[in-house]
């Protein structure tokens, strides 16, 4: 499954300064922990997934300024 995720992340339109390895590992970690985060009566799985995707995309689309 890691190779599948590697190819999927490689195809994402992200900023040049984004480390795709860490993006892939973060995504896999988020997916694995979703089972822990989900609670009946709380956010449904689609909402959790949407929020994770927004967080990853927002961070991946905005370059981080170089440290002074």
Domain range list for the chain? 2-61
Tens-place pLDDT, residues 3-62: 898 999 999 888 888 899 998 998 888 888 877 778 888 888 888 888 887 777 776 565
Whether the predicted pLDDT of 68 surpasses 70 = no
pLDDT of residue 40: 86
- Please indicate whether residue 63 or residue 38 has the higher confidence score (pLDDT): 38
User: Which tokens is 57 given?
Assistant: 């995309």
Whether residue 5 contacts residue 27, with contact meaning beta carbons closer than 8 Å, is answered with: yes
- Please indicate whether residue 15 or residue 64 has the higher confidence score (pLDDT): 15
Angstrom distance (rounded) from CA 21 to CA 17: 12
pLDDT of residue 60: 57
């Amino acid at each position: 499954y890691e190779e599948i995720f590697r190819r999927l992340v490689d195809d994402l339109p992200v900023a040049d300064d984004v480390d795709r390895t860490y993006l892939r590992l973060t995504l896999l970690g988020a997916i694995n922990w979703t089972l822990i985060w989900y609670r009946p009566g709380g956010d449904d799985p689609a909402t959790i997934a949407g929020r994770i995707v927004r967080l990853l995309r927002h961070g991946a689309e905005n370059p981080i300024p170089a440290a002074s």
